[in-house]
Structure 1
Amino acid sequence: MGNQRIYRSPYPTPHVPTDLSIPQFLLQSNPDDVPADKVVLEDFDEHGKSITYGQLRNQAALQASALKQQYDLKEGDVVGLFGSPLQPPGFTSRDNRTIPAGIIFSSGTSGAPKAVLLSHHSLIAKLLVLRATNPFNHNAYTREVFFPSFAHIYGIVSGVLLPAWTGGYVVAMPRFEFDGYVRRCADIRATLLRLVPATAARLAADPVVRGLALGTVRSVMCSGASLPAETIAGMRKVLHPEIVVLNGYGMSEGTISLQREGQAHKAGSIGRPAAGAEIRIVGDDGSDVAPGSDNDGECYVRSPTLFMGYKDNAGETADTLDQDGWLHTGDVVKIDRDGDMWLTGRKKELIKYKGNQVAPAELEGILLEHELVVDAGVCGLIKNGVELPAACVVLAGHEATADKEAVLRKLQAHLHERVAPYKRLRGGIFAVQELPRGSTGKLLRRSLPKVIARLGRARPRL
Structure 2
Amino acid sequence: MIIESPHAPVEIPKVSIYELLFGSLSTEDAARTALIEGETGREISYGTLKRNVDLFAGALAARGIGVGDTVALMAPNIPEFVVAFHGILRSGATATTVNSMYTAGDVTKQIKASGATLLVTVKALAERAVSGAEDAGFSSEHIIVMDDDGEHPSLEALLKERHPAPEITIDPDEHIAVLPFSSGTTGTPKGVMLTHRNLVANTCQIQNLIPVRPGSPIQAVLPMFHIYGLTVLMHFGLFKRAQVVTMASFDLEQFLRIIQDHAIEVSFIAPPIAVALAKHPLVDTYDTHSLTSILCGAAPLDDATARLVSDRLGCEVGQGYGMTELSPVSHLAPFGDGTYPGGSIGPAIPNVESRLVDPATGEDIEVPAQGESAAGEIWVRGPMVMKGYLNNTEATDATIVEEDWLRTGDIATYHSDGWFTVVDRLKELIKYKGYQVPPAELEALLLEHENIADAAVVGVPTADGEEIPKAFVVLRTDADGAQAELSAQEVMDYVASRVAPYKKVREVEFIREVPKSRTGKILRRELKSTP
Q: TM-score, normalised by structure 1?
A: 0.78
Q: Indicate which of 257, 266, 269 corresponds to 1:195.
A: 269
SS at match of 1:97: coil
Is the Cα–Cα contact under 8 Å of residues 373 and 414 in structure 2 kept in the other structure? no
Q: Which residue is 1:176 aligned to?
A: 250
Instruction: Note closer, same or farther for the CA distance 1:51–1:249 as it changes in structure 2 (3 Å cut).
Output: closer
Q: Which residue is 1:253 aligned to?
A: 325
CA root-mean-square deviation? 3.7
Provide runs of 4+ in structure 1 moved above 6 Å: 42-45
Q: Which residue is 2:428 aligned to?
A: 349
1:103 is displaced (CA, Å) by 2.4
SS at match of 1:117: strand
Equivalent residues, number: 414
Is the Cα–Cα contact under 8 Å of residues 245 and 265 in structure 1 kept in the other structure? no
Instruction: Note closer, same or farther for the CA distance 1:386–1:29 as it changes in structure 2 (3 Å cut).
Output: farther
1:208-247 alpha-carbon deviations (Å, 9 max, x no partner) = 211211011111111222223332233234311xx21111
**Equivalent position amino acid for 1:286 in 2:** G
1:301 is displaced (CA, Å) by 0.8
Q: Indicate which of 120, 125, 129 corresponds to 2:205.
A: 129
Is the Cα–Cα contact under 8 Å of residues 294 and 318 in structure 2 kept in the other structure? yes
Q: Which residue is 1:277 aligned to?
A: 352
SS at match of 1:273: coil
Is the Cα–Cα contact under 8 Å of residues 13 and 132 in structure 1 kept in the other structure? no
Instruction: Indicate yes or no: 2:469 matched with 1:389.
Output: yes
Q: Which residue is 1:460 aligned to?
A: none
Instruction: Indicate yes or no: 2:455 matched with 1:376.
Output: yes
Q: Which residue is 2:231 aligned to?
A: 157
Instruction: Indicate yes or no: 2:189 matched with 1:113.
Output: yes
Q: Indicate which of 389, 406, 426 corresponds to 1:327.
A: 406
Work out the CA distance in 1 between the residues paired with 2:400 and 2:386. 9
1:48 is displaced (CA, Å) by 9.7
Q: Which residue is 1:67 aligned to?
A: none
Work out the CA distance in 2 between the residues paired with 1:266 and 1:30. 38
Is the Cα–Cα contact under 8 Å of residues 222 and 270 in structure 2 kept in the other structure? no
Q: Which runs of 5 or more residues in structure 1 are unaligned? A: 61-76, 456-462
**Equivalent position amino acid for 1:259 in 2:** A
Q: Indicate which of 262, 265, 282 corresponds to 1:208.
A: 282
Is the Cα–Cα contact under 8 Å of residues 133 and 275 in structure 1 kept in the other structure? no
SS at match of 2:403: coil
Determine which structure has more spread, i.e. the larger CA radius of gyration. 1
1:123-181 alpha-carbon deviations (Å, 9 max, x no partner) = 111111111333xx132253222122222222221232212211111111122222111
**Equivalent position amino acid for 1:21 in 2:** S
Instruction: Note closer, same or farther for the CA distance 1:87–1:37 as it changes in structure 2 (3 Å cut).
Output: closer
1:449 is displaced (CA, Å) by 2.3
Q: How does 1:56-71 map to 2 (within 5 A)?
A: none
Is the Cα–Cα contact under 8 Å of residues 435 and 443 in structure 1 kept in the other structure? yes
1:341 is displaced (CA, Å) by 1.9
Instruction: Indicate yes or no: 2:416 matched with 1:337.
Output: yes
Work out the CA distance in 1 between the residues paired with 2:349 and 2:409. 18
Instruction: Indicate yes or no: 2:32 matched with 1:39.
Output: yes
Work out the CA distance in 2 between the residues paired with 1:48 and 1:114. 36
Q: Which runs of 5 or more residues in structure 2 are unaligned? A: 55-89, 92-158
SS at match of 2:204: helix
1:188 is displaced (CA, Å) by 0.5
Is the Cα–Cα contact under 8 Å of residues 224 and 353 in structure 1 kept in the other structure? no
**Equivalent position amino acid for 2:363 in 1:** S
Is the Cα–Cα contact under 8 Å of residues 282 and 298 in structure 1 kept in the other structure? yes
Instruction: Note closer, same or farther for the CA distance 1:120–1:332 as it changes in structure 2 (3 Å cut).
Output: same
SS at match of 1:324: helix
Instruction: Indicate yes or no: 2:87 matched with 1:87.
Output: no
1:323 is displaced (CA, Å) by 4.9
Is the Cα–Cα contact under 8 Å of residues 389 and 425 in structure 1 kept in the other structure? yes
1:337-388 alpha-carbon deviations (Å, 9 max, x no partner) = 3332222333331112223221112222333444654543211123333322
1:234-269 alpha-carbon deviations (Å, 9 max, x no partner) = 3234311xx211111112221321121113453432
Work out the CA distance in 2 between the residues paired with 1:337 and 1:49. 46
Work out the CA distance in 2 between the residues paired with 1:36 and 1:361. 48
Q: Which residue is 1:21 aligned to?
A: 16
Work out the CA distance in 2 between the residues paired with 1:49 and 1:225. 32
Is the Cα–Cα contact under 8 Å of residues 219 and 264 in structure 2 kept in the other structure? yes
SS at match of 1:430: strand
SS at match of 1:377: strand
SS at match of 1:271: coil
**Equivalent position amino acid for 1:326 in 2:** W
1:277 is displaced (CA, Å) by 0.7
Instruction: Note closer, same or farther for the CA distance 1:309–1:23 as it changes in structure 2 (3 Å cut).
Output: same
Q: Indicate which of 278, 293, 300 corresponds to 1:219.
A: 293
Is the Cα–Cα contact under 8 Å of residues 36 and 243 in structure 2 kept in the other structure? no
SS at match of 1:379: strand
